Amino acid sequence: MKRRHWTADEKLKILLEAEKEGITATIRKHGIYSNTFYQWKEKYDTCGKDALASKHYKIDPEVKRLQRENQQLKEMLAERELALRIKEELLKKSTARKGTGS
C-alpha cells in the first residue's frame, strides 16, 4: 500500500465518517490500517484536532541551501574576526615593546 500523508482536516473527516458509517467500511474506503485509525482516534479524544496535525515538515531544498550558505558565511566572518583580534594583540605587544625599549 502506498504511503499517504493526511492533513488534520482529512483525519478528522475520516473519524467523523467512521462514527456515521462504521469503522470497518470507512478504513476500507480510505485504505488505512485499523491501527492508524485508532491512533488518530486516541489523539483526537485526548488532545483534540491539533493533535492530528503532522509533526513532520519537509524543508524546501532552497531553504536548506540558504541555511548552509549562511552557516559558511558565519564561519568565514568568525575566522576573519579571530585573525583581526590576533593582529590587534600582536600590534599592541609590538608597540608596547617599542615604547619600553627606548
How confident is the prediction along the chain (102 residues), in pLDDT tens digits per residue?
A: 566 788 889 999 999 999 999 999 999 999 999 999 999 999 989 888 888 887 766 778 898 999 999 999 999 999 999 999 999 999 988 888 877 655
As for how many domains the chain has, the answer is 2
Classify residue 3: in a domain, yes or no: no
Q: Are 33 and 27 in contact (CB under 8 A)?
A: yes
* Residues 64, 90 within the same domain: yes
Quote the pLDDT of residue 2.
63
- Within 10 A of 8 (CB to CB), how many other CB atoms are there? 17
- pTM of the shown model: 0.52
* Residues 37, 63 within the same domain: no
* Residues 21, 48 within the same domain: yes
Quote the pLDDT of residue 25.
94
Question: What stretch of H or E contains 21?
Answer: helix 8-21
Domain region containing 71: 58-102
* Residues 35, 64 within the same domain: no
